[in-house]
Structure 1
Amino acid sequence: MELSFLSSPQIFFTVFTLAVSVFLYIFIYHQTNRRKTNYPPGNFGWPIIGETYEFLYGNSEKFIGDRMKKYSPKVFKTKVYGEPTAVLCGVAGHKFITANEEKLFRVWRPHSLQKLFRAPFLPNASASIPRETMVNVTRAPGFIKTEALIGYLGKMDTMIQQHFNLHWEGKQKVQAYELMHRMTATLSSRFFLGFEENDPRIEKFARLSDGMTVGLHSFPINIPGTVFYRAKKAADAMRMEVQQLIMEKRAAMSSGIQTQDILSHMILSSNPAAGRFKSEKEIATLSSALVVSGFTTPATALAIIMKYLAERPDIYDKIRAEQMEISSSKKLGELLNWEDIQKMKYTWHTSLEVMRIIPPFQGGFREALRDFTYEGYTIPKGWKVYWSVTTTNKNPECFPEPEKLSPTRFETPPPYTFVPFGGGLRVCPGKEYSRLVMLIFLHNLVKKFKWEVLAPNENMIGTVIPMPGKGFPILLQPLST
């Protein structure tokens, strides 16, 4: 027996009404935008989603570059994540945003990040954890200040040496990105959560972090089969793991055991009266965000650096000479110290130059706190503002012959041309931590190995946080030290 809930005329009328409504919406939407001629040039794209798909899944450099050519090299409008967005380009754009943090702008996180790292201690439970909170937590005890990192440097060197002994020595072929990911995950888990080197939970945290990373910048559609659904499950699982760890740490502290890590500091400094960190869930949310941010980007950056060093033996030789000179000044078994790090200038300049060519992180969002004018155009309150490293990294006015790898550029880099760690009030609090991880890793790597890239045409997948599509397989050649 056939069931019919609507007659044919009713179906026709319903479909016709829906089609007319959509047409009117699109017509009014575009007519309204035409009248607002003082907005920056650009295109909002499709209703609701705008140009989100191209932004997330296309080539970030091409997305920005094409619109700079078509509309304006200084500022253009688009719509991503369902939000009207002004993209401020070039040196002037970087400088303007840096100079007006907390005056015209506040940090804004895409909706996917808000939902993965929601902050239940805020009035709006869907809001992401404010950067101020993250900075205060990591800097209050001095964990990421230079003086604190100096004390942690020797431990970091020891852990990286152990990593090479366990996972690289005696191997002919390795999946380098996987190993660097494991190494940065171990350091991050030790530094932020207090895990010991051989704690089996490190591997679990690395897998969960991988699952979260792919969904950090995605359509926040939480239904089975979507990238965001898998990321959300991983985020919930990590939060539960950290809550269990918090209970363990509370028990250890109550018995008089002292621990030195950021999670322990958060537990000790929790202050329900001040409305912050009232529960294990709230602490777990913030510490999960810290762990993920602490190892994904350095692993990607190191993989890209290794690829370029394999292609440029002349630069590899200069880096190895610099590192061997440092090593020759050390006693047998003596660990790296702060003075050694300061001598690694060419190595760090090379790292910066590689990150200029292939950025491990593309940019960030702000939200306009009030209407303001930029380059003669009005940016309304509530609009999102995006800055991108790609607007200067490949600009020949900033970097002549931009596709050429030339580490000496960074002996005197022009201001506001290279901002992979942000700048001003919003400079990444983990910048110095990431620098140490990368330099200590490269020091131990070039002392022990040369390598051949086995997939030279390997694509980087993902645009906001790219990673090698095949895991960066390499052939190792051990060296005598």
Structure 2
Amino acid sequence: MPVIVFLTLFFLACLPLLVLRKKTRRPPHEKPLPPGSLGFPLVGQSFGLLRAMRSNTGEQWLRRRSNKYGPISKLSLFGRNTVFLAGPGAHKFVFTSDALALQQPKSATAIIGSRSLLEMIGEEHRRVRGALMQFLKPEVLRRYVHPLTKGLTFDLICSLVLGLERGKIREALVQDFAEMLSGVWAVPIDLPFTKFGKSLRARRRAAQLISGIVRQKKTLLEQRKCSPDQDLITCLLGLGGDGNSEPLTEEEIVDNTVLIMFAGHDTSSTLLTFIIRHLANDPTNYDLVLRENEDIAKAKAPSEALTWDDVNKMKHTWRLAMEVLRTIPPVFGNFRRALKDIEYEGYIIPKGWQVLWASSTTQMDENIFKSPENFDPSRFENPSCIPPYSFVAFGGGTRICPGNEFARIETLVMMHYVVTRFKWRLSCKDNGFARIPLPTPTDGLPIDLEPKN
């Protein structure tokens, strides 16, 4: 497309926002807005942040901003006026304030869905979160320890969440989710050639497939041909059957299934990738992880499944995983939405603005974690020594990730079988990574894999 045509379309897309901003200018407050610039409507600082994330300099980008404006500043990201907050106090405020609701960029809301847990507040949030927690609580997850060994993360999520076996539908979902992810943090311009536009089309295809599965499961439940606790979808379909709560709509089930598959697949696979990457370059921690898991394996009979107690013995393996999450968090940061005008640290956060927090502002802070650039799993030997709201890989407060226990089991079981059955070494020259938006090794992290015995 010629540049002049693109610029014309872009100007026409932004024109209503220019008019809207002029018409909706807010009355003056007693407290000032945070320092900073909103930049150009719709785009703001989005391209600058995305460029920094792609070059793996997002942490430095935020640090420069904090050095310039302090721990609170205003900007515009992904089509919304935004306030960026940094530090443990900011994280506590973000995770505990009733005046803030979860908020995704317009691009993420469009792709994940408007009826997912991320978009809900109050009683709606408690209702859907309760349904998900019923399925993701440890007592239920114990039943899935052995099945977790049967495939990689997307296969696991498809089986656990959808009850979907290998085949054309699963293959189509794999492709669609990969394309959807690329547009979650993108400027929300819905044109055929934009990343956001392509992601939206992939989202529609995935939602159509999942809707078909939901309707099929509903019919099977009505005919009593499947169990209400067979998978996540049957669990969600069964909500409200006792008359004590309101059933979820098909839209809510689809959107929250998309959310769980995003969270359970992409973040877990990222963590596993960077654990494998790190162990290939760290013989000391590799030996500790190997010894711990070989001791567990030696106590098992051939082909005997792991037990819950076995998983809980993998203490160093999980400490190493936590340190990977600290240094390379899969989720760079996230957003909240102000439900009303909020006064914070002498500034006003206007109603409707989004609030950005980023994990690196505490997890890579030398005042919290000594020598933060050094990789040291022993930091997590006594988690109670870590200041509250400083390690936020799973969020915090009432908004802590409901799938954190599932992530722990998935990671530990997978790594147990990897380290006890295989040896590997990196076969790539470039050991770097970019965020698009999750951390992704530059060359895809090819490895030479050798089975043991």
**Could you say which residue in structure 2 is the equivalent of 1:64?**
62
Q: Pick closer, same or farther for the CA change 1:224–1:330 going to 2, 3 Å.
A: same
- Give the ranges of 4+ consecutive aligned residues of structure 1 lying more than 6 Å apart after TM superposition: 31-37
How far residue 298 of structure 1 moved from its aligned partner, in angstroms, is 0.6
**Could you say which residue in structure 1 is the equivalent of 2:395?**
422
In 2, the alpha carbon distance for the partners of 1:239 and 1:69 equals 43
Q: Does 1:229 align with 2:227?
A: no
Deviations 1:283-325 (A, max 9, x none): 3333223222220111111111111111101110100001011
Query: Is the deviation greater in 235-244 or in 372-381?
Result: 372-381
Root-mean-square deviation (CA, aligned residues, Å) is 3.0
Query: Is the deviation greater in 222-231 or in 261-270?
Result: 261-270
**Could you say which residue in structure 2 is the equivalent of 1:303?**
273
How far residue 269 of structure 1 moved from its aligned partner, in angstroms, is 3.2
Q: Secondary structure at the match of 2:444?
A: coil
Aligned letter for 1:156?
Answer: L
What is the TM-score when the length of structure 1 is the normalising length?
Answer: 0.80
1:362–1:463 CA contact under 8 A, matched in 2: no
Q: Does 1:312 align with 2:282?
A: yes
1:362–1:420 CA contact under 8 A, matched in 2: no
1:466 aligns with one of 432, 435, 439: 439
Q: Does 1:55 align with 2:55?
A: no
In 1, the alpha carbon distance for the partners of 2:205 and 2:238 equals 24
In 2, the alpha carbon distance for the partners of 1:94 and 1:128 equals 19
Identical pairs, percent? 31
1:153 aligns with one of 145, 151, 164: 145
**Could you say which residue in structure 2 is the equivalent of 1:117?**
112
Aligned letter for 1:312?
Answer: D
2:146–2:306 CA contact under 8 A, matched in 1: yes
**Could you say which residue in structure 1 is the equivalent of 2:365?**
395
Q: Pick closer, same or farther for the CA change 1:282–1:91 going to 2, 3 Å.
A: closer
In 2, the alpha carbon distance for the partners of 1:275 and 1:339 equals 37
In 2, the alpha carbon distance for the partners of 1:76 and 1:291 equals 33
Q: Secondary structure at the match of 1:418?
A: coil
Aligned letter for 1:228?
Answer: F
Aligned letter for 2:176?
Answer: L
**Could you say which residue in structure 2 is the equivalent of 1:438?**
411
Q: Does 1:144 align with 2:136?
A: yes
**Could you say which residue in structure 2 is the equivalent of 1:188?**
157
Structure 2 spans left out of the alignment, 5+ residues: 1-11
Aligned letter for 2:260?
Answer: L
Structure 1 spans left out of the alignment, 5+ residues: 1-17, 164-182
Q: Pick closer, same or farther for the CA change 1:308–1:184 going to 2, 3 Å.
A: same
Aligned letter for 2:382?
Answer: T
2:116–2:255 CA contact under 8 A, matched in 1: no
In 2, the alpha carbon distance for the partners of 1:366 and 1:108 equals 4
Aligned letter for 1:438?
Answer: T
1:218–1:228 CA contact under 8 A, matched in 2: yes
Q: Secondary structure at the match of 2:203?
A: helix
How far residue 68 of structure 1 moved from its aligned partner, in angstroms, is 1.1
Q: Pick closer, same or farther for the CA change 1:51–1:285 going to 2, 3 Å.
A: same
Aligned letter for 1:65?
Answer: R
In 2, the alpha carbon distance for the partners of 1:291 and 1:465 equals 15
Deviations 1:143-174 (A, max 9, x none): 101111112212223x1xxx4xxxxxxxxxxx
What is the TM-score when the length of structure 2 is the normalising length?
Answer: 0.85
Aligned residues: 423
In 1, the alpha carbon distance for the partners of 2:372 and 2:256 equals 38
**Could you say which residue in structure 1 is the equivalent of 2:95?**
98
1:278-357 alignment runs, 5 A limit = 278=249, 280-357=250-327
1:112–1:219 CA contact under 8 A, matched in 2: yes
Deviations 1:9-68 (A, max 9, x none): xxxxxxxxx9xx99x99xx99x99999972222222234421111123323212211111
Q: Secondary structure at the match of 1:395?
A: coil
Q: Which structure would you say has the larger Rg? A: 1
Q: Secondary structure at the match of 2:135?
A: coil
Aligned letter for 1:225?
Answer: F
Deviations 1:377-426 (A, max 9, x none): 22222221111101012111111111111110111341221101101110
In 1, the alpha carbon distance for the partners of 2:116 and 2:232 equals 19
